[in-house]
Amino acid sequence: MDEQSNRLMSEFFLELFSEEIPASLQRNSRNVLLEKFQKLFEEKQITFKKSSTFSTPNRLIIVFEGLSKEVTQKAKEIKGPNVNAPEKAIEGFLRSNQIDIKDLLKGKTEKGEFYFFKENSKKINTINLLEEYTPLILDRLQWKKSMRWGSYNLNWARPLKSILGVFDDKSLSFKFHHLTCSNTTFIDKEFEDKKKIFKDFKNYKYFFNQSGIMIDHAQRKKFIIKEFEKISKKKSFTIESNNKLLDEVTDIVEQPNVLVCKFDEKFLDIPKEILIITMQYHQKYFPTFDKKEKITNEFLVVANKKDTKGYIKLGNERVVEARLSDAQFFWEKNKSQNLVKQISKLQTMNYFKGLGSYFDKVQRMRKLGGMISDVLIIRKDQVELSASICKVDLISDLVGEFPELQGIMGGYFAEVQGFDKDISLAVSEHYFPIGLDSKTPKKPFSIALALTDKIDTLVGFFGINQNPTSSKDPYALRRSALGIIKLIIENNKEFKIKDLINYSASLYLDQGFALSNKTLQIELTDFLTDRLKYFMKEKKIRTDIAEASINSYGIDHMTKIYKKALTLNSVIDKQVGEDIVSSYKRASNILDTEMKNKDKDLELSNTTDPGIFKNDYEKNLLKKINELRKYFTNINKDENYAESLVNLANAKKVIVEFFDNVKVNDEEKSIKKNRLELLLMLCRTFDNYIIFSKIEKK
């Protein structure tokens, strides 16, 4: 770039200094703030070379490099109201554009005569634009959670203390509520009398780097990861990947320092989930594991400064020891409390208004689980037993302290008390899967209990009209529905979902709970169908293929729907897929055309008359249709979907020869009808796989 171009380019640098902002609010706000300025520059036709956003707990920063110092906005004609519009509309147009009525022109369009205003070209200085629009952008910044302080009217995540704004080495001059923008900022969050002038971002970043503060959150994250890797190699342990926790920790420190801490080995006798959740979720620590994937008594802490005297390490070790001492006490107490004897205590735990207590829920689950056990061919009494005890851990001290461990703790209690391993595992896993990437239970008893719990939940909430809306799903019903879909598909099972819904609804009625939703089954099956579409979309299955498969089979055949769609999706852009779709569409297009003509003499039957065939091409096509029909008639539940598609694709040669040599719209009506019936048979034979008319030819 030449010297003149460089002189026309400048840097815009904005820092918002506040009290410490929570990690989740930082991530959202820094991105939104950057996008708002990018949009402003785009609208005002101001170019820039690069834009960046950074944050520390106290600082939100945006930087634009290579920003034009000024821009010439081209002359343009602005359309106003119709000449016959009310006077108020015309006055509003004049006011918004800061013009007089004498500046208006009239012009005719297709929609009538309108007023126009010709805005002359003008030069805009970027610094003036920034001073005008920056406070407006800041005012429109929405926080998920915000606060006010003192006597100020400003809503911000945490009290905002100063605004540093610089363009082209010059301080911006604007007011934002009680604050005035300047080129100074606080350099020490602990001592707010220490301030420093900055004229550009390069010197700003260098200064803080020299002070040990990493302004760039991405740089902090890389530093923490490298420290983890160094320590892991030295100590011969591994750190479980947890990107969510890593991002959170990255945003709550500005001078990251990774410390290796320890707790007493006696706590390793506690279930590992308690140790992990205590460290990760409650203390933001990183547990470590040995080569056999067993948890160790060492953990990593990302501190916010150097620990020269070891006080930070000692303090964190004391905190975790205290929490683990409580957990150990509760574990010893709760594991010995008989699960079966405690079932009656669930009567005092309300499940949901209109759906009874947790005791009512497990009684329904016992019966519904029994029905599911018949399908899975497993012991009914074992499923009923697992359903009876699966919610008892909710009344334990441990789950009260660590709600995230419900189900998991029940599984441990069952194991310690000598229940069958399958029952203990079923109790432990009955909330799973809890998301698209969550693990899916695989053992039959686990499948039965997890399905039972989710179906009872969905039927209950839909029954009292607590369906999710487009924006709200407070009871995580979408997650429950997705869980049902994953349990069925990923275990290659099929269940009569409609029967299970009806039976589940009857169990509520047997307990005296009136389900006011009279269209419960329809709404719930539609809801499950929508979740199935979502599941297939996430598996990268084309929308038209998913729709075709769903329309071919009911909700009672989820696995078949998914597998047929998945298999077709894998070949749709290959020769096999192209041959199938082109063959089908060639026949169906002719049929569609004839059906639109509505010729009363052309009522087509589901068969054809070989006796009036005129050539071998008709005979060959019928022979191929019969071969395919025989194939689809003889296949059982273990249909090889890829083989089915190859068989359909292999019909292309015969179909092409038919169309190349046979005139379907024969002058003789009986011949024409017969040939159309032959094509109808062909299409319906293809539809044995899925309804191909729903497939779009790309």
Starting from the edge strand earliest in sequence, which strands make up the sheet with 257-262, in order? 238-239, 286-289, 295-303, 257-262
Rounded distance, CA 550 to CA 528, Å? 11
610-660 tens-digit pLDDT: 989 899 999 999 999 999 999 999 987 788 999 999 999 999 999 999 999
Helix (H, G, I), strand (E, B) or coil at 516: coil
Q: Give the pLDDT confidence score for residue 5 in this predicted structure.
A: 43
Instruction: Identify the sign of the CA torsion 567, 569, 575, 577.
Output: positive
Does some domain include residue 271? yes
My answer on whether 360 and 490 are in the same domain is yes
Does some domain include residue 23? yes
Measure Cα distances from 90 to 81, 83, 99, 109 in Å: 6, 8, 11, 18
**Are the CB atoms for 463 and 515 separated by under 8 Å?**
yes
Among 173, 191, 210, identify where a domain stops: 210
My answer on whether 184 and 296 are in the same domain is no
218-252 tens-digit pLDDT: 999 999 999 999 999 999 999 988 999 999 999 99
Tell me the residue length of the chain: 698
User: Is the confidence at residue 1, as pLDDT, over 50?
Assistant: no
My answer on whether 415 and 509 are in the same domain is yes
Does some domain include residue 243? yes
CATH number at residue 432: 1.10.3210
Per-residue pLDDT band at 317 (split at 50, 70, 90): very high
DSSP letter (8 states) at residue 512: T
Ranges 100-109, 577-586, 599-608: which has the least confidence: 599-608
What residues have CB less than 8 Å from 617, skipping those under 6 apart? 657, 658, 661, 662
Closest CA to 550 of 564, 561, 541, 563: 561
What pTM did the predictor assign? 0.81
Per-residue pLDDT band at 207 (split at 50, 70, 90): very high
My answer on whether 347 and 289 are in the same domain is no
My answer on whether 307 and 452 are in the same domain is no
Record the tokens describing residue 143, joined without a space.
Answer: 């926080």
Dihedral (Cα; 452, 454, 456, 458), 10-degree rounding: -150
User: Is the confidence at residue 597, as pLDDT, over 80?
Assistant: no
Record the tokens describing residue 273, joined without a space.
Answer: 């989930």
Q: What angle do CA 362, 365, 371 make, to 5 degrees?
A: 155
| Number of domains present in the structure of the chain | 5
My answer on whether 303 and 396 are in the same domain is no
User: Is the confidence at residue 437, as pLDDT, over 80?
Assistant: yes
Q: What percent of the chain has pLDDT over 70?
A: 97
My answer on whether 32 and 144 are in the same domain is yes
Per-residue pLDDT band at 76 (split at 50, 70, 90): confident
My answer on whether 355 and 504 are in the same domain is yes
Rounded distance, CA 259 to CA 306, Å? 9
My answer on whether 203 and 227 are in the same domain is no
My answer on whether 355 and 437 are in the same domain is yes
What residues have CB less than 8 Å from 430, skipping those under 6 apart? 386, 390, 407, 441, 446, 449, 450, 452, 453
Does some domain include residue 524? no
Per-residue pLDDT band at 92 (split at 50, 70, 90): confident
Among 210, 233, 251, identify where a domain stops: 210
User: Is the confidence at residue 600, as pLDDT, over 80?
Assistant: no
Record the tokens describing residue 655, joined without a space.
Answer: 């179909």
ω into residue 444 within 30 of 0, thus cis?
no
My answer on whether 131 and 257 are in the same domain is no
Among 477, 494, 519, identify where a domain stops: 519
Question: What residue numbers bound the domain in which 103 lies?
Answer: 75-120
Does some domain include residue 558? no
Measure Cα distances from 353 to 424, 496, 516 in Å: 30, 29, 13
